[in-house]
Amino acid sequence: MILISVGNDTRLIFTDIPYFRIVETIISSSIEQAKMLLKQGQLVAIPTETVYGLAANALDKNAVIEIFNAKQRPSFDPLIVHIGNKSDVSLYARQIPTNAQKLMDTFWPGPLTVILPKQEIVPDEVTSGLETVGIRMPNHSLTLQLLNQLDFPLAAPSANPFGYISPTTPQHVFAQLQNKIPMILDGGSCEVGVESTIVGFEGELPVVYRLGGLTIEDIRNVCGDIKVEVNSSSDPKAPGMLNSHYAPLKPLKIIADDFNLSDSTNQAAIIVFGQFENSTNAQVYNLSPTANYKEAASNLFSFLRMLDTDESVKEIFAFLLPSINLGLAINDRLNRAAFKG
């Protein structure tokens, strides 16, 4: 059991992983420096279009273990392997269903992770002992340049303490992992703002294990029939499936449309979407006043972080979005962040 500091608060984490060593953390846009550190088996936070990832050589099991150490991530939660070229997928996956190839051809680089039977070269530490591996090609020019200058792929979960809000800026990463990693590769703010959609396959049938930056509608348009299986309380088949995840330290409650807003206080914050008539004493944060789902996804984690570190806010409320488009992924993150078990 250890204590992890987040802002002025601490969180208890139960783990069998030893405490990570202390190093000086720099923020830089130098690909050369990032490449040097990764070749040495060290960790570098990298930008993607979704969120910042905590990267290490995916083929070096000792480097991969350092990811779990830095995040205090339980060893049963698998990592995603990031590649720089579509053709590289065959180096790390044994079988590629036709529908998987269609999705990769259509959406890579982009916020799509495919789960495929792994090649022996992929360490069990990456896959948490599973015979499958999640692979994706991120859509960020800086990270793609880095990947194409390395002779190994990068394992990279989100660059934050396990279970906390995912980071979408270099400053978010620094606030949480300073002195635990040597470098944050500065690629600016993340465009998408929620993690990749994770898709596995039962034969040729796509199975969505995690809702994310690629919509269900997009996948159906390419593959037709799909299956959605996004909940897991233990032994997840993919990252981001645990019931409690992406959570602020302050209480977060999902509220229904008939919630009496006049009962809220000026120490509460309410997250809304689209047109909203404020009849409350609470602080109101609108993910997108124009009901733009991409804007809402981009703002979600930043809003949660801001409210979690705002000393004037004691509790957070949130309305769910319409369950269409990226609203499904946003609602998934809000529900997991609010889950109390």
User: Which domains does the chain carry?
Assistant: 2-228 (3.90.870.10), 252-338 (3.40.50.11030)
Residues 161-170 pLDDT 10s: 998 999 999 9
Neighbours of 76 (CB within 10 A): 12
326 or 265, higher pLDDT? 326
Is the pLDDT score of 127 beyond 70?
yes
**Cβ neighbours of residue 207 closer than 8 Å, sequence gap 6 or more:** 199, 200, 201, 226, 227, 228, 229
Please give the Cα distance from 97 to 177 (Å, whole number). 38
Pick the range with the lowest mean pLDDT from 133-142, 222-231, 276-285, 309-318: 276-285
Pick the range with the lowest mean pLDDT from 166-180, 224-238, 306-320: 224-238
* pLDDT category of residue 335 using cuts at 50, 70 and 90: very high
Q: What are phi and psi of 319, to 5 degrees?
A: -85, 140
pLDDT for position 6: 37
11 or 243, higher pLDDT? 243
Is the pLDDT score of 123 beyond 90?
yes
226-260 core/surface letters (b: 16 or more CB in 10 A; e: else): eeeebeeeeebbbbbbbeebbbbebebebbeeeee
pLDDT for position 21: 61
Sign, Cα dihedral of 43, 87, 195, 167 = positive
pLDDT for position 8: 38
Is the pLDDT score of 7 beyond 50?
no
pLDDT for position 10: 36
Rounded average pLDDT over 105-112: 98
Q: Which residues pair with 269 in a beta bridge?
A: 283, 316
Please give the Cα distance from 235 to 241 (Å, whole number). 9
Please give the Cα distance from 148 to 165 (Å, whole number). 29
Please give the Cα distance from 212 to 272 (Å, whole number). 19
Residues 134-157 pLDDT 10s: 999 999 999 999 999 999 999 999
* Residue 179: closest CA among 9, 29, 45: 45
Please give the Cα distance from 190 to 300 (Å, whole number). 12
Radius of gyration, CA atoms only, the chain: 19
pLDDT for position 236: 58
Paired tokens of 122: 């992929």
Paired tokens of 187: 């690629």
* pLDDT category of residue 14 using cuts at 50, 70 and 90: very low
Rounded average pLDDT over 6-35: 65
Residues 192-241 pLDDT 10s: 999 999 999 999 999 999 999 999 999 999 999 999 998 655 455 666 55
Task: Look at the block and give the residue holding tokens 């590629």.
Answer: 96
Residue pair 207/134 in contact by the 8 Å Cβ criterion = no
Stated length of the chain:
341
Average pLDDT, the chain: 89
Please give the Cα distance from 195 to 322 (Å, whole number). 19
pLDDT for position 282: 82
Is the pLDDT score of 11 beyond 70?
no
Residue 242's SS3 state is: strand
Rounded average pLDDT over 248-264: 78
pLDDT for position 278: 73
Please give the Cα distance from 89 to 219 (Å, whole number). 19
pLDDT for position 286: 96
